Structure 1
Amino acid sequence: MKQWGILTYVLFLMLLSCQTTKHIESHGYVRKQVLTEEEQRVFDYHFYEGIRLKEEGKYKDAYESFLSCKSIDSLDTGLIAEIAIMKLALGNLDEAIIGMQQAVKQEPNNWWYNTNLLNMYIQGKKYDEAITIAEFLLKKYPEKEYAYNVLILLYKETNQLSKAIVLYDKLERIAGISERTVFEKIGIYLSNQNFKKAQAEIDKIIQKFPLENKYKILKADLLMQQGNLLDAYELYQQILKDDPLNPYVYVSLSEYYKAVDNPDESLKYTVMALKSGQLDMNSKLDILSQHIEHILRAEGEIEETENLFKLLIEYYPLEEAVHGYYAAFLQHMKRDEDAVMVYESMLNINPANKQTWLNIIQIYFAEQNYPALLHTADRALGATEDEQLFYLYKGLTFELMEEYEQALETYLDATSLFKPTDKAELKSDIFTHLGDVYMKLGKTEEAFKAYEEAIQMNAGNLIALNNYAYSLSTEKGDLQKAERMSAKTVEREPRNSTYLDTYAWIFYQQGNYSLAKFYIERAIDNLKDTQGQGVILDHYGDILWMSKENDEKALEVWEKAFNSGHQTDELKAKIENKGWER
């Protein structure tokens, strides 16, 4: 459907401009009403004023001016068409179609009125009606190539491919064989798996342009697509012999060797294509995007690969994408410090590139290099108009450093700068972390308000729902509300041990120890790593203790929690006192 965007736009410009010229030149439009000299003068004044306003893009004013003409002569075909065009410009497609239908009815052979109506039908997806007009225009004006092209597009849109092929053949008899028509037909034949006819079209254009190797490459590519690898290879070699520096045959040979499971040769020709001075930058970027994983996996060619990236940067020093691929290669090789230097060079080219800043920040985050991260986040905020994601990373870093006051200040700064265009999910995440920090600082009421804001902005924010529910349970808040929120998280992620632990703890606080035991055991069953294990085991021990089922196991679980690193004073007391009085 993308092609219709272009077609409609072109025709829309015709509607807003060319039609005026036809009216002024009086190409046979029918006047149904005889005007006095004064009526004609007033009509012409308002009509040309409407034309002027339309050309300035003041469509509403132009429409009003044309309506003044209508009160004088409502049957003028040119006026009817202009009013229809203005209705289209003002967004009333249905009325525009009705008006243009009237213009065509009064002057059925008029090219411009028919093409305008055709465009309106296309915009309204009334393809059958559009085809009827296009077929009429082709019959009436067989010399106009446009009539062929628009009808072909309509046939393709409605999947009448055989009719499109017939028109392409007629067009070739009129205008001669062209690359565009041949390639269009090849595309149709390939969509129907008709390789024989596609091959015939390629042979036809090769015969017309025997020195153009790009068509021979296309033929070889098609042979390879059909699985005829030997013939494809022989043709590639013939092309390579005639044109040894052709970068496009390098690209095809790279694909050929990939197909025959020879990755070393495939990489060799990929590199040759990238080094070629005859290949444009966009094509090289396409090759990089398609083969970057293969290039990165070629560990035996590390030095050559790095030299390739350096060479590309030397050729295209201001091309961000080339630097970006090199940085990705360096990160793949665990050379994060070098990758940061490349990303910094990208910022010299485009300091507003948010993704580049984010790549640096994520490297520092993974390294736990918090001072460098905070410095980079501040620089990023200065360069990118207060991008909220950088506030989030900065605040999260302060949280990890247990600098909660500074984290609070960062998140509050972020919320004060929220814009309507900011993503609701990101704003919700910031409010979630704000709630977490308030809880750390013992500001329960503020924390609950922040969690409420987070959930209001994104009802599907599971972290906010979980953290709010858990906070309510630990603060002896509204446990029914906590249960409802926690239930949503468990329903969405039934194997998430953190959410299961929260759900169990809420039941524990409600005194429902059987359900609490059921869900805490599910939480333990789904533990994927040791992170958070101590808290969950601590809760499990409490639940076992209060259920009075197995006091020895409760003590055993508490000791396991303590040994996992969860060494709180409260847990230590439970172990030393062998529980507490129930």
Structure 2
Amino acid sequence: MKKIGLSLLLLLSVTTGYGQREYDQFFLEAMMQRQKGNNDAAFDLLRHCLEINPDAPEAYYFLAQYYNALKDGEKSLAYIQKAAALDPDNATYMETLAQAYIRQQDYEAAIPVVEKIYERDKEREDLLEMLFQLYQQVGDFDSAVEVLNRIEAIDGKSERLSVAKSEIYTRQGNKKAAIAEIKALAEKFPNDGNYQALYGETLMMNGQLKKALKVYDKILKDEPDNNRVLMSLRTYHQALGHREIADSLTERVLLNRNATIDEKILLLRQEISASENAGGDSTRVLQLFDKILKQPQTDEHMAILCASYMNVKKMPKDTIATVLTKALQLAPDNSSARLQLIGYAWEADDMERVIALCQDARQYNPDEMAFYYYQGIAYYRRDSLDAALSTFKNGIGVIKEDSDPAIVSDFYAVMGDILHQKGLMKEAYEAYDSCLQWKDDNMGCLNNYAYFLSESGEQLAKAEQMSFKTVKAEPKNATYLDTYAWILYMLGRYSEAKIYIDQALQNLDESIDNSVIQEHAEKIKQKANQ
């Protein structure tokens, strides 16, 4: 809204009086400017609305929002308070006021506002949940329990509500009421072992151990595998230092078919932590894993946890591999377990095993590029060039924009080497170009690409640029120095070539065949000395 238009409207209000018609005109214009995003104009118009009608709740409401955006919390609160006072039946004003009090952590002030909103709309059970939290914040636990009773009257008795009330009673030191609340829940659902177990836990937590044990005994007679009771008893005996009994209960839970995998893993993590704190002896933990894994498993999680623990304890890799193999039998699509097995096979130079693992992975993880990469490299190291090339070509199909540039780059680099060995020079150079598009500092590719160009005597300027990158990155790499020296030789720059071939000879790796470098050195020195 242009300033001249706003000035005219303000002048109009002065000359025509402060009637409702004028107020409506300015308020409508304010809302239009607000909708257009002209907040400065809307702000000025709303303030003028209050000059016309100081008792307009809607103007106070919107101005409160603007003051809040301006970080003027005091004025924002004052305006929303005014809006709510002028129109206390407006749920939006009242709820905004309650939220303002809560933001300022004035919970005492928020409570009566929320109570009034709920009094007018008793379908809003979320308001009762809010009141429950607010009463706890101000330490009014009796009122908090009263709110829970109101929720219970609507929803009926439940574990959540009974536990919440029992916890409040415990906090208040009213053990009798805490126990009575859970007892009432257990009596309402006498056939639910979990509620009976909860009653036992509450008895134990409030010091009535004999009664708690009696409740547990009764439950276990009917449900010998009640996991909740077994866990509670385990905690009890651990606290008393009854190690053998506690260990026995630990095994009962871990071998309990009624226990979920999450419960078992949580318990095993506790056992591992306790073992580490006691010095790190892995004997008992490994025994537990062994007993568990001898049972039928529905998923791979326990085997993966066992393998992770073995890794931490630096156990023999063949032992870990046995567990990982079991994990793969349970979940053939677990790529992390398979990759770890591939890593072990690679370290053992077992290319057949690498190929087999990757072949299976292509069935279960067809979009995982790493498996094509490792299988292709394994074929290449076995001199199966056609199989390697086929694998890499298949792998190209799963490359995506967010694929790991380093792996994709190596993909194309090895493809280029294979294609070169097969005499397909054009295709080899295309593969190298693709490699460098993904990672322009792939040193192996830069070196090989440059050397092969020099061998054919083509694109020597491009070859020299690529090769110079490698010697700049690794100035003591004899292979890279030799390549650069040879390219300079091919360019007729014999003196420079001699400098770099001499450096190559100074940095030879005597454990490998250096005959090509020696041959290049002889030819370069002949030309340089002429």
Normalised by the length of structure 2, the TM-score is 0.51
Quote the residue 2:459 is aligned against: 478
Mark the CA change 1:471 to 1:309 in structure 2 (over 3 Å): closer, same or farther: farther
| Matching residue within 73, 77, 80 for 1:107 | 80
Listed one character per residue, the Cα deviations across residues 191-223 of structure 1 (whole Å, up to 9, x for unaligned) are xxxxxxxxxxxxxx9x999x98xxxxxxxxxxx
Mark the CA change 1:485 to 1:275 in structure 2 (over 3 Å): closer, same or farther: farther
Counterpart secondary structure, 2:472:
helix
Report deviation, 1:308: 4.6
Quote the residue 2:397 is aligned against: 416
Quote the residue 1:489 is aligned against: 470
Q: Spell out the pairing of 1:137-536 with structure 2 (5 A cutoff).
A: 137=106, 140-141=109-110, 243-244=240-241, 281-282=265-266, 284-285=268-269, 306-311=286-291, 313-314=293-294, 317-318=297-298, 320=300, 322-324=302-304, 326-327=306-307, 329=310, 333-334=315-316, 336=318, 338-523=319-504, 526=507, 530=511, 533-535=512-514
Report deviation, 1:427: 2.2
Report deviation, 1:274: 9.1
2-structure distance, mates of 1:80, 1:345 = 68
**AA at the equivalent of 2:381:** L
Report deviation, 1:465: 2.3
Report deviation, 1:389: 0.9
| Matching residue within 499, 521, 527 for 1:543 | 521
Report deviation, 1:325: 5.3
CA contact (8 A) 2:372 2:392 kept: yes
Q: Spell out the pairing of 1:40-119 with structure 2 (5 A cutoff).
A: 97=69, 106-108=79-81, 112-113=95-96
2-structure distance, mates of 1:350, 1:433 = 31
Counterpart secondary structure, 2:513:
helix
Listed one character per residue, the Cα deviations across residues 532-563 of structure 1 (whole Å, up to 9, x for unaligned) are x314x531442244214999xxxxxxxxxxxx
2-structure distance, mates of 1:282, 1:395 = 40
Mark the CA change 1:142 to 1:489 in structure 2 (over 3 Å): closer, same or farther: farther
Listed one character per residue, the Cα deviations across residues 238-284 of structure 1 (whole Å, up to 9, x for unaligned) are x999531589xx9xxxxxxxxxxxxxxxxxxxx99997959962364
Quote the residue 2:53 is aligned against: none
Which sits farther off after the overlay, 472-481 or 419-428?
A: 419-428
CA contact (8 A) 2:447 2:466 kept: yes
1-structure distance, mates of 2:237, 2:496 = 73
Report deviation, 1:442: 1.1
Listed one character per residue, the Cα deviations across residues 1-48 of structure 1 (whole Å, up to 9, x for unaligned) are xxxxxxxxxxxxxxxxxxxxxxxxxxxxxxx9779xxx9xxx9xxxxx
2-structure distance, mates of 1:208, 1:409 = 75
Report deviation, 1:449: 0.9
CA RMSD, Structure 1 to Structure 2 (Å): 5.5
2-structure distance, mates of 1:437, 1:172 = 75
2-structure distance, mates of 1:502, 1:96 = 69
CA contact (8 A) 1:395 1:411 kept: yes
Counterpart secondary structure, 1:534:
coil
Normalised by the length of structure 1, the TM-score is 0.47
Report deviation, 1:450: 0.9
Mark the CA change 1:518 to 1:96 in structure 2 (over 3 Å): closer, same or farther: farther
Mark the CA change 1:529 to 1:347 in structure 2 (over 3 Å): closer, same or farther: farther
**AA at the equivalent of 1:311:** K
Length, aligned pairs only: 356
CA contact (8 A) 1:507 1:513 kept: yes
CA contact (8 A) 2:486 2:497 kept: yes
2-structure distance, mates of 1:98, 1:490 = 60
**AA at the equivalent of 2:378:** T
2-structure distance, mates of 1:285, 1:529 = 50
**AA at the equivalent of 2:390:** E
Quote the residue 1:198 is aligned against: none
Quote the residue 1:220 is aligned against: none
Listed one character per residue, the Cα deviations across residues 288-331 of structure 1 (whole Å, up to 9, x for unaligned) are 59989x99xx8xx7876753541353589456454235446489
1-structure distance, mates of 2:274, 2:443 = 36
CA contact (8 A) 2:98 2:110 kept: no
Give 5+ residue unaligned stretches, structure 2.
Answer: 1-21, 37-41, 50-55, 83-92, 115-135, 143-170, 176-203, 206-235, 255-262
2-structure distance, mates of 1:512, 1:98 = 72
**AA at the equivalent of 1:543:** A
Report deviation, 1:448: 0.9
Which sits farther off after the overlay, 439-448 or 424-433?
A: 424-433
Larger gyration radius, structure 1 or structure 2: 2
CA contact (8 A) 2:97 2:113 kept: no
CA contact (8 A) 1:78 1:103 kept: no
Report deviation, 1:287: 7.3
CA contact (8 A) 2:495 2:528 kept: no
2-structure distance, mates of 1:547, 1:95 = 84
**AA at the equivalent of 2:358:** A
Listed one character per residue, the Cα deviations across residues 449-476 of structure 1 (whole Å, up to 9, x for unaligned) are 1111111122233333232222222222
2-structure distance, mates of 1:80, 1:496 = 76
2-structure distance, mates of 1:399, 1:368 = 13
CA contact (8 A) 2:61 2:79 kept: no
1-structure distance, mates of 2:268, 2:521 = 62
Report deviation, 1:384: 0.8
2-structure distance, mates of 1:274, 1:529 = 59
Report deviation, 1:367: 3.1
CA contact (8 A) 2:412 2:431 kept: yes
Mark the CA change 1:244 to 1:401 in structure 2 (over 3 Å): closer, same or farther: same
1-structure distance, mates of 2:461, 2:395 = 32
**AA at the equivalent of 1:313:** L
2-structure distance, mates of 1:208, 1:472 = 88
Listed one character per residue, the Cα deviations across residues 392-437 of structure 1 (whole Å, up to 9, x for unaligned) are 1111122112221222221112113333443333222211111111
CA contact (8 A) 2:419 2:427 kept: yes
